Copies of this chain bind each other. A is one copy, B any other.
Amino acid sequence: MGFDMNSFMDEISQRKAFIEKCLEQYLGGEPKNPPVIHQAMYYAVMNGGKRLRPIMVLEGARIAGGSGETVIPAACAMEMIHCYSLVHDDLPAMDDDDLRRGKPTCHKVFGEANAILAGDALLTEAFALIADNALIEGIQPQDVVRVIRDIAGAAGSQGMIGGQVMDLEAEGKQADHDLSLLHSLKTSELFKASLRAGAILNKLDEAGIQSLTRYGHNFGLAFQITDDILDVSGDQNLLGKPVGSDEKNVRTTYISLIGLEGAKEKARQSVQACIDSLNSFGSEADFLRNLARFTLHRTA
C-alpha cells in the first residue's frame, strides 16, 4: 500500500487546526482571574504542538463508530495533560530547559512559581473537561468514569509520572536500564489512554479497545525512537531545539544502545507492530496506519 506523505500531512494539519480551535475556546476568550495563571496556561498549550493525543482521542471515537464531535472535551483534556507534563519537565529542578519548540519555556516567561501552578491547573482542568464530556448527548456517565480512571492511571505515578521519575534517575548515567519500560511509561501511556478514551466513550467492544491499546503502546515506542534519531540527525531549525542534546546530557537513547541503524530498524519494527495491531478494523483504520508510518518520516 502506498503512503502519500503530502496528502497525509494535509489531513494532519486540518485535524490539528480543528483541535487548536477547540483548545482556543477552552483557554482563550474573556480574561479570567487571576490573569497571570490563565496567561501561563494559554502559553503552555497554544505553542504549536503536534496535537497527536487529541487527534487520537477523536480517531478512537471515529473507529468506534462515533463522531469526533462527541469527545472534544476529552481530546482537549489529553492535550492539557501532555502540556502540563512538558511545563513541569522543563523546570530548573527537572530537565532545566530554556526553550521548547524554539520559544522560551513557561517558567522563563512567567517564573517558576507560576509555571508550577499553571501545570497543576492544566492537570486539574483536564479532569474537569473529561467530566464535562458527560454533558454531550449519547455519552454515558459510567463510561466517563471509566475513562477518568484510565487516564489517571496512564498519567500517574505508575504511568507517565513514573516514567519521568525513571528518566531523572537515569540522567547522567550511560546505564543499561530498561529503556523500553521507561518510554512505555513516559510516552506510550498517554497515547494508549487517548485512543482508549475516544473508543470507550463510543462503546467500542473490548477486543477493539485491546487492539487500540497495542497500537498506542507501539506508537509510543516508534515515536520515542524517532525522537532519539532526530536528536542526532534532525534539523535544529525544524526541531526548535539543538541537536545532540542527548549525548551532551549523557542520556541513554536507542542510538547509544543499538546505534543509528539499529534504532532505525527498531522504529520500522514498531511501526509494523502498530499496523499489525489494526488488522481487525479494515480500511476504517487507514488513518492510524498512516499515522504510524508518518513517525518514520517526521522532521520535528
Residues of A bordering B, CB below 8 Å: 32-34, 36-38, 41, 84, 88, 91, 93-94, 111-114, 116-121, 123-125, 127-128, 130-132, 134, 140-142, 144-146, 148-149, 152-153, 155-158, 161-162, 164-166, 168-169
CA distance A123 to B295 in the complex (A): 32
Are B152 and A131 interface neighbours, CB within 8 A?
yes
Known: A36-B169, A141-B144, A169-B36. A124 touches B94 (CB 8 A): no
Chosen A-B contacts, 25 in total, with CB atoms closer than 8 Å, are A32-B158, A33-B158, A34-B165, A37-B161, A41-B157, A84-B120, A88-B116, A88-B120, A93-B111, A93-B113, A93-B116, A117-B161, A117-B164, A120-B161, A123-B124, A125-B156, A127-B127, A127-B148, A127-B152, A128-B148, A131-B152, A132-B149, A141-B141, A141-B144, A144-B145
Return A259 CB to nearest CB of chain B, in Å: 28
Tell me the smallest distance from the CB of A138 to a CB of chain B, in Å.
14
Separation of A145 and B142 alpha carbons in the complex (Å): 9
B33 touches A162 (CB 8 A): yes
Inter-chain CA distance A157–B32, complex, in Å, is 9
Asked whether A120 and B123 contact (CB < 8 A) given A37-B162, A161-B37, the answer is: yes
A111 CA to B123 CA, complexed, in Å: 22
A149–B149 Cα distance when bound, in Å, is 14
Least CB distance from A263 to B in Å reads 25
Task: Beyond A121-B157, A141-B144, list 4 extra A-B contacts (CB 8 Å).
Answer: A36-B169, A88-B120, A123-B123, A141-B141
Residues of B within 8 A of A116 (CB): 88, 91, 93-94, 116
Minimal beta-carbon separation of A82 from chain B (angstroms): 13
Chain B residues, CB < 8 A from A117: 88, 157, 161, 164-165
- State in angstroms the CA–CA spacing of A116 and B161 once bound together: 10
Q: Which residues of B contact A123 (CB under 8 A)?
A: 120, 123-124
Question: In whole angstroms, how far apart are the Cα atoms of A58 and B145 in the complex?
Answer: 21
Across the interface, which residues of B come within 8 angstroms of A153, CB to CB?
128
Residues of B within 8 A of A119 (CB): 120
Smallest CB gap from A112: residue in B: B93
Q: Name the B residues within 8 Å of A156 (CB-CB).
A: 121, 124-125, 128
